[in-house]
Homo-oligomer: A and B are copies of this chain.
Amino acid sequence: MKVVPGGGAAVSGPLSRKLQGFGRLEEADAAALAMVEAGTRLVPSGTDLVREGDRPEGMIAITEGFACRYKLRENGARQIMAYLVPGDVCDFDASVLNRMDHTIGTLSTCRVARVAPEASRDLRARPAVAGGLRMAALVDEAILREWIMNLGRRSAVERLAHLFCELLVRLRAVGLTLGNSYDLPITQLDLADTTGMTSVHVNRSLGELKRAGLIERKGRRLTLTELERLMEMAEFRPNYLHREMPEAA
């Protein structure tokens, strides 16, 4: 078994970290996931991992960096529909032999694990892993709904505030936060394409949040000073991100 680079004992990576949030994993489960995490490749920012029209197989998992699902309009406008952060998995075999209706691409340099269909079957043969993946898919869908709420019924600042709160919770689940701060390795243009705005307006809205003392940004580091007020202004209720565990699978 491959040793996780840069560490002695295999400290659990974001993958097992995330799935553990949905239920206890066995040693062997964690080992299988660590195996996946060991076989990652570094992908530069702005790379498409899976394109619209493709018929992908197996799975891909992100262990470092931000990726996203997006579509383009004919005029070049981009809309991001989902972020893939460390620990997130796309299970293409769950999509039963279909063509992609959108593209998956990296927003920053990413560490990506591609899981072949066979290995992917082996993973899903583990009840705890399969269950975790199913839960994760449900959460992803809940996030899509919340983003619709965000786009349809929140103002510019509120949208950004809500997004930042969501990311805090999601990144905390994989141990990538420090207090109320985390690395946000994406540009204001990316934020604009996420929140349905222009980068100019994102810039102004960020300024507003900063001036209000709600957030702070130093380099890539985003700090949610005054998290309480931020959550309140965005009406952020994290219930959609947490799934309660079934008593028995």
Task: Give the distance in Å from the alpha carbon of A195 to the alpha carbon of B151 in the complex.
Answer: 9
Interface stretch, picked from A12-20, A70-78, A109-117, is A70-78
Task: Give the distance in Å from the alpha carbon of A141 to the alpha carbon of B131 in the complex.
Answer: 19
A126 within 8 A of B: no
Q: Closest Cβ of chain B: how far from A207's Cβ, in Å? A: 22
Beta-carbon contact of B148 and A98 below 8 Å: no
Which residues of chain B come closer than 8 Å to A71, judged between CB atoms? 145, 149
Beta-carbon contact of B149 and A148 below 8 Å: no
Beta-carbon contact of B239 and A153 below 8 Å: no
Q: Closest Cβ of chain B: how far from A236's Cβ, in Å? A: 12
A6 within 8 A of B: no
Residue of B nearest to A140 (CB): B141
Beta-carbon contact of B79 and A138 below 8 Å: no
Task: Give the distance in Å from the alpha carbon of A102 to the alpha carbon of B147 in the complex.
Answer: 13
Q: Closest Cβ of chain B: how far from A150's Cβ, in Å? A: 9
Interface stretch, picked from A163-171, A179-187, A240-248, is A240-248
Residue of A95, A135, A149 contacting most chain B CB atoms (<10 Å): A149
**Contact A96/B144 with A152-B151, A195-B152 known, Cβ cut-off 8 Å:** no
Which residues of chain B come closer than 8 Å to A134, judged between CB atoms? 96
Residue of A95, A144, A146 contacting most chain B CB atoms (<10 Å): A144
- Cβ < 8 Å to B, chain A residues 71-99: 71, 73-74, 77-79, 81-82, 95-99
A58 within 8 A of B: no
Q: Closest Cβ of chain B: how far from A95's Cβ, in Å? A: 6
Beta-carbon contact of B79 and A135 below 8 Å: no
Task: Give the distance in Å from the alpha carbon of A135 to the alpha carbon of B98 in the complex.
Answer: 10
Partner of A74, one of B145, B235, B247: B235
A101 within 8 A of B: yes
**Contact A135/B96 with A79-B148, A144-B148, A147-B148 known, Cβ cut-off 8 Å:** yes
Q: Closest Cβ of chain B: how far from A71's Cβ, in Å? A: 5
- A contact set with B: CB distance below 8 Å: 69, 71, 73-74, 77-79, 81-82, 95-99, 101-102, 131, 134-135, 138, 141-142, 144-149, 151-154, 193, 195-196, 235, 239-240, 243-244, 246-247
Shortest Cβ-Cβ A-B pairs, 5 listed: A152-B196, A151-B151, A101-B240, A144-B144, A79-B152
